[in-house]
Structure 1
Amino acid sequence: MTTRAPTPIIAIDGTAASGKGTLARRLADALGFAYLDTGTLYRKVAVDVLRAGGDPADAGAAIEAAQNLQKNLDLQSLKDPAIRTAEAGKYASVVAAVPGVRSALTDLQRGFAIHPPALADGTPAKGAILDGRDITTFICPDAPVKFYVDAAVETRAQRRHKELLGNGEAIEFEQVLEDMKIRDARDMGRKDAPMTIAPDAIVIDTTAMGVEAVVALAMAHVRTVLGQK
């Protein structure tokens, strides 16, 4: 299925806590694009299963939750604080490894890319930005702009640990680091649409880069390819 559309698409993949979400939001704000953090879809599925008293590792329960989300997506529900917890992140990659879950959410993501919703103020979106694990390779393989964002796992774990502590979660750094390594391995090793670097993606290593430098680098590429001002 192609994802070419009248409006441009920016696809961003990368590892957890690499800074891809921050980059995507900054680009979306600057360009007037609609933004979808596709990882929140999988986090939402995991949280919905847990709230129903189920086990995210139960494929049937995960698929049912994904199908419900596909039919009744409310972008505001993706701002639920429970989605940002360490538990949600841990189980997001578990449900994401279920082919039926990925299938249920594929059309949802592609639909957002091809027909991005209006911005919060009602202004029509000038394009779409999606970030995740398989956006550049599977969801939007025809996107004219692709980035892959990464950083050293220890750096990413430090960022995520700080974020979780700031949200009031009592968790040790070592646990965050271990969970991140497990998640990386699961995301890269799953059979369906594993996380990998698209041949035509611009790779950005944020280990020693500040946010402004990352955004400037990405924006320069966007302007070159899309002619955005």
Structure 2
Amino acid sequence: MTETSKAPVITIDGPSGSGKGTIAKLLARRLGWSILDSGALYRLTALSAVKQDVDLNDPEAVARVAQNLDVEFRSGQAEQPVSVFLMGEDVTEEIRTESCGDKASQIAPHTVVREALLQRQRDFRKSPGLVADGRDMGTVVFPDAPCKIYMTASAEVRAQRRYEQLKQQGQSVKIAHLLSEIKARDDRDMNRENAPLRPADDAVTLDTSGLPIEEVLQQVLQIWSTKQA
């Protein structure tokens, strides 16, 4: 077994808006580990395909885009998100739009696309450890991870969180529209044939609907501590 494969992994899976991305960043910083935002890779693939005029309904063409992504992640200050660059262009904000998220969800079910990104995701595993945020981290990408978390929250709570986030960015949106998009994405992700969104059999499920971020973080740290015992 290589040193890379020995590195511990904490997987945090769940639907959009469950808080998994925020918790993953805080957890990685607290532990001093690397972080994998797998959703960003799918969003980047979708965005790159659009910029290259590649048909998102052509799985083979999209997979070629995924294999040749010119991507760079740059860590910001402690409270700042990771900056994402595509072909040297800062696309951090662009990949977080609802439109880009929908396109990522559209290409994610394609087997050839997932295969193209699988090893790329596994390569993030290195000492001292990795926090992997996504939808199939515990079920497909790192099935041997010693600690698996599945975070969820009601669709209504997730829509409200997204509304507040977009409002802070100066965007004008309606909660009803966000709720409809979230429910449609959930249905698409949970019912796709390839790597559907679901908790791993050995995952601990956390409902974050009424919990502050710090409390969720403490629960995750406690779960990790228990797994080490």
- TM-score bucket of the superposed structures, by smaller chain: 0.7 to 0.9
Return the letter of the residue paired with 2:104.
Answer: A
Match of 2:92 among 33, 55, 80: 80
1:4 CA displacement: 7.9
> Residues 213 and 6 (structure 1 numbering): CA distance in 2 closer, same or farther, change over 3 Å?
same
TM-score (ref. length: structure 1) = 0.87
Q: Deviations for 1:86-117, whole angstroms, at most 9, x for unmatched residues?
A: 1111111101111111010000111112x3xx
Residue 49 of structure 1 contacts residue 62 of structure 1 at CA under 8 Å; is this kept in 2? yes
CA contact (8 A) 1:188 1:194 kept: yes
CA distance in 2, matches of 1:31, 1:142: 20
1:120 aligned partner: none
Q: How far apart are the structure 2 equivalents of 1:143 and 1:57?
A: 33
The answer to which of 163-172 and 199-208 deviates more is 163-172
Name the counterpart of 2:155: 153
Q: CA deviation at 1:167?
A: 2.3
Q: Assess, with a 3 A threshold, how the Cα gap between structure 1 residues 61 and 169 changes in structure 2: closer, same or farther.
A: farther
Structure 1 unaligned spans of 5+: 116-124
Task: Report the residue type matching 1:109 in the other structure.
Answer: Q
Moved more, 53-62 or 158-167: 53-62
Given the alignment of the two structures, is residue 36 of structure 1 paired with residue 48 of structure 2, yes or no?
no
Q: CA deviation at 1:217?
A: 0.6
In structure 2, the partner of 1:162 is: 164
Select between 31-40 and 78-87 the one with higher mean Cα deviation. Answer: 78-87
Deviating more after overlay: 154-163 vs 132-141: 154-163
Task: Please state if 1:202 is matched with 2:193.
Answer: no
Give per-residue Cα distances to partners, 1:12-38, cap 9 Å, x unaligned.
Answer: 100101001111111101101100110
Match of 2:220 in 1: 218
Structure number with higher helix proportion: 1
Identity of paired residues, percent? 39
Q: Is the contact made by 1:3 and 1:141 (CA closer than 8 Å) also made in structure 2?
A: no
1:188/1:144 CA distance change after superposition, 3 Å: same
CA contact (8 A) 1:3 1:142 kept: no
Looking at structure 2, the residues matched to 163 and 55 of structure 1 have their Cα atoms a distance apart, in angstroms, of 30
Per-residue displacement from partner, 1:191-210 (whole Å, max 9, x unpaired)?
11111111110100000111
Is the CA contact 2:109–2:195 (under 8 Å) kept in the aligned structure 1? no
SS in 2 for 1:195: coil
**1:183-194 equivalences in 2 (<5 Å):** 183-194=185-196
In structure 2, C-alpha distance between the alignment counterparts of 1:201 and 1:4, rounded to whole Å = 22
- Residue of 86, 100, 115 corresponding to 1:103: 115
Match of 2:130 in 1: 128
Q: Secondary structure of the equivalent of 1:112?
A: coil
Q: Which residue matches 1:8? A: 8
Amino acid at match of 1:112: F
User: Which of 178, 183, 187 is residue 176 of structure 1 equivalent to?
Assistant: 178
Letter in 1 for 2:61: A
- Quick check: 1:4–1:142 contact (8 Å CA) kept in 2? no
What TM-score does the superposition give when structure 2 sets the normalisation length?
Answer: 0.87
1:144 matches 2:146? yes
Deviates more, 1:157-166 or 1:50-59: 50-59
After TM superposition, give the deviation of residue 64 of structure 1 in Å.
2.1
Q: Contact 1:148 / 1:204 at 8 angstroms: preserved in 2?
A: yes
Counterpart contact for 1:12–1:147, Cα < 8 Å: yes
Equivalenced residues, count:
214
Contact 2:148–2:202 (CA under 8 A) maintained in structure 1: yes
Q: Shift of residue 3 of structure 1?
A: 11
Structure 1 residues 151-203: Cα deviation after superposition (integer angstroms, max 9, x where no partner): 00010011112212222333222111111111111111111111111111010
